[in-house]
Amino acid sequence: MEAAVSEKNSVSVFLENLDVSENTSNNSYVSEVISEAKDRLLNSKLPNKKQESWKYSKIAPWLKKKYCCSRSNEDFDISAYASTSVNANTLVFVNGYYRDDLSILRDSQNGVIIQNMTEAVDLFKDDIDKYYNKAKDASFFADLNTVYHTNGVFIKVDENVIAETTVHLLHIQTGTGTIAQSRNLVILEKNSKLDILESQLELNASDSISNHLSEFFVNENALLNYTLIQKGGDNAAIHSNYFIQEDFSKLNSNVFSLQKKFIRNNHSVRTVGTDTETRLNGSFMPGANEQFDNRTLLDHRNVRGYSEEVYKGILFEKSNAVFYGRIFVDQKAQQTNAYLNNSNILMDDSARMHSKPELEIYADDVKCSHGSATGDFDTEAQFYLQARGISLDSARKMLIHAFMNEVSGKIENIEIRDVVNSYMNERMMKLDQ
Amino acid sequence: MDSIIKIKNLHAELSDGTKILNGVNLEVKPGEIHAIMGPNGSGKSTLASVLAGREDYIVTEGEVEYNGMDLLDLSPEDRAREGVFLAFQYPVEIPGVSNINFLKTSINEIRAYKGEGPISAKEFLGMVSEKSKLVELDNKLKNRSVNEGFSGGEKKRNEIFQMAMLEPKLAILDETDSGLDIDALRIVAHGVNTLKSSENASIVITHYQRLLDYIVPDIVHVLWNGRIIKSGPKELALELEDKGYDWLKKEVITE
């Protein structure tokens, strides 16, 4: 009993140390959502390794720190960030605050609404009441985001509209001990299409944490292409995406975890419609004393869903990574076809990989497979390349590329693919020395 | 005439101390084809690996002079750049690296080593189309990942294709005949024979005599227990085919 009390206190201590104000809303529904989340938070425990979902990732040290939400008006050149080379409507968030002055809205298009979340709550009340908070779960960080998020973006693509320009959410974290929490809502109406790039970068940030959360609703026959790049500094990132797919909709999600002290991605897809197609892919490259944890859930709830999931990791010296991929097939979800694979290369004996693919199937007419393989770098292939005159250095790079390119190669947008590849190259050059 | 390679009293062992080569002596001159035969475990593949620079083996004694250089002093890639080519017994599959990109990188790194600029796309493609005909390599295979999903015969033909592209001074063919049907064997041998010149040389390692019907050696050596115990003209291979290796082993033991 005493233990429980002290755990409960630890949440209060964490919240007291959080120099951020709670959200309020004029919208009665949103206001209720916030107060429910607050109640749950106060009655929850801080994530800790006794919980199954946090068994292998050491979040505890990050929850002992004090954070404040420093709004920054610092002016800087966003073109220094490679991801801005993608032709896109770029929305810049600094420490979770939207920066109109830094954002670049190149093209406006009829039927593509891009709105600051704070304003959207009033302007798009019907959509907010219909979609807001409907995809997310009730985990600690999701609730934390609900109560304390600063701002975010509301994106809506109308029926039969193909968004011609990529929307780029550029998160920049800066300062020491900051917390950045954006809250985003993306709605693709029937027969629409949208490409989203989200990049999480930093500017002289340390001991900081981010907890961004997005909900995506991919309605009937719509297509969403989503890419996430995570890179930068001695900081922690908790990142949550919740996708809901309706009939005949398609989702391609590609996630690249390249550098941060701590990354935890909670990415889940619920296919409520029939005949959905889902592709979830990821690459992660943790370096020394970094810990990357990718947690995915593919929740098949309806018939004839197709899903394909490939996560690949290269773990360097003294790094640590977790992959937990769960596929759930509801009793109703007959003729589901689901494939999940996680493969990893350990570049050093001191690297640690925890991989747990999981299938939970309640329907009897399904085709599901999952696999996981973790091994050392293929020195036989390396020697083969050397024996053809290719230097040791080039040989290693070629092999690492070949392994990782399988995932970046799945990005359809060539500009985004090139940017991802250049981030990966840069990362590799630093790590593989 | 100067030799291409001169191996003197070569001793090599595994990291656990298992001795595999126990004093190999061999000299190969330009224009020559040498065959190395011997029973399983005699050290044939080890000799090939040591010459190519595989790190699994430690050379404890002896020296290898290649083209006037100390071969053992060179990294595996520098050996290749200097013209040593090992056709692998088990060519490695490399998913995600296309055969063509691999070869282009290889050629360009070799050219850079020699102080030459990168090969032009036109010249490269011309070479690819000419040399792949030599070993009847299917066009589709060139764009596939290196050796991935290739049949045994295709892998071996791909080795000879690479050899044709790189034009080595010294080719070491490690059991290139193993696992080949008669057609593939003929194609591979045709490739090797066509590439033969008065400037280069080959060391053909084989377990069976049948390859030597197609690639005719100048000298046949028998390796046993990590040493060359007998050398002779091509007829020696036929004798081995007839009588096996036991009579030679006895000869050595009674010495």
**Residues in B touching A390 (Cβ below 8 Å):** 77, 105-106, 109
- Residue A1 — pLDDT band, cuts 50, 70, 90? very low
Whether A373 and chain B come into contact, CB under 8 Å, resolves to: no
How far is the C-alpha of A362 from the C-alpha of A201, rounded, in Å?
41
Q: For chain A, what is the largest distance between any 2 Cα atoms, rounded to a whole number of angstroms?
A: 70
Query: Which of B50, B55, B56, B92 should be substituted to probe chain A, the one whose Cβ sees the most A Cβ atoms within 10 Å?
Result: B92
Tell me the residue range of the domain where B174 lies.
5-254
* Cβ contact, residue pair A391, B109, below 8 Å: yes
Q: Could you say which residues from 154 to 183 on chain B have a Cβ atom under 8 Å away from some Cβ of chain A?
A: 162, 166
Q: Which residues of A311-329 are buried (b: 16+ CB within 10 A; e: fewer)?
A: bbbbbbeebbbbbbbbbbb
Chain B's closest residue to A406, CA to CA, is: B96
3-state DSSP assignment of residue B117: coil
Name the phi and psi angles at A165, rounded to 5. Answer: -110, 135
- Residue A331 — pLDDT band, cuts 50, 70, 90? very high
User: Range with the lowest mean pLDDT among A183-192, A250-259, B124-133?
Assistant: B124-133
Q: Could you say which residues from 69 to 88 on chain B have a Cβ atom under 8 Å away from some Cβ of chain A?
A: 75-77, 79-81, 85-86, 88
**Angstroms from B215 CA to nearest CA on chain A:** 23
ipTM: 0.96
What residues contact B67, with CB distance under 8 A and at least 6 apart?
B4, B5, B82, B83, B169
**Angstroms from B85 CA to nearest CA on chain A:** 7
Residue A202 forms beta bridges with which residues? A173
Q: Which pLDDT tens digit goes with each residue over A62-110?
A: 999 999 877 888 888 999 899 999 999 999 999 999 999 999 988 889 9
Q: Could you say which residues from 33 to 52 on chain B have a Cβ atom under 8 Å away from some Cβ of chain A?
A: 52
Q: What is the pLDDT of residue B240?
A: 87
Q: Which pLDDT tens digit goes with each residue over A15-38?
A: 988 988 899 998 999 999 999 999
Taking Cα atoms as reference points, which of B168, B37, B30 lies closest to residue B107? B168
Which DSSP helix (H) or strand (E) runs through B89? none
Whether A397 and chain B come into contact, CB under 8 Å, resolves to: no
Taking Cα atoms as reference points, which of A315, A187, A203, A295 lies closest to residue A249? A187
**What does the mean pLDDT of chain A come to?**
93
**Residues in A touching B76 (Cβ below 8 Å):** 383, 386-387
Q: Residue A406 pLDDT > 50, yes or no?
A: yes
Query: In one letter, which amino acid is A428?
Result: M
What number is the average pLDDT over the span A391-418?
91
Taking Cα atoms as reference points, which of B69, B89, B66, B85 lies closest to residue B77? B85
**Residues in A touching B54 (Cβ below 8 Å):** 383
Among B55, B113, B162, the residue with its CB nearest the CB of A388 is B162
Residue A211: CA count within 13 A, CB half-sphere: 21
Q: For chain B, what is the largest distance between any 2 Cα atoms, rounded to a whole number of angstroms?
A: 61
What number is the average pLDDT over the span A228-246?
95
Q: Which pLDDT tens digit goes with each residue over B117-166?
A: 999 999 999 999 999 998 888 888 888 899 999 998 899 999 999 999 99
What number is the average pLDDT over the span A177-201?
97
Number of structural domains chain B divides into: 1
> What CATH number is attached to the domain comprising B18?
3.40.50.300
Q: Residue A303 pLDDT > 90, yes or no?
A: yes
The C-alpha angle with vertex A30 and arms to A25 and A36, in degrees rounded to 5, equals 110
What number is the average pLDDT over the span A329-333?
97
Q: Residue A2 pLDDT > 50, yes or no?
A: no
**Residues in B touching A380 (Cβ below 8 Å):** 92
Q: What is the pLDDT of residue A10?
A: 86
Query: Which of A390, A392, A399, A400 should be substituted to probe chain B, the one whose Cβ sees the most B Cβ atoms within 10 Å?
Result: A390
Domain boundaries, chain A: 71-379, 380-433
Chain A's closest residue to B113, CA to CA, is: A389
* Cβ contact, residue pair A399, B162, below 8 Å: no
Which DSSP helix (H) or strand (E) runs through A313? strand A306-315
Low-confidence ranges of chain B (pLDDT < 50): none
Among A385, A387, A402, the residue with its CB nearest the CB of B95 is A402
* Cβ contact, residue pair A387, B88, below 8 Å: yes
* Cβ contact, residue pair B55, A392, below 8 Å: no
Chain A's closest residue to B54, CA to CA, is: A383
Q: How many residues does chain B have?
A: 255
Return the axis-axis angle of helices B121-134 and B99-113, rounded to nearest 10°: 120
Q: Which residue has better confidence, A50 or A271?
A: A271
Among B55, B75, B80, the residue with its CB nearest the CB of A388 is B80
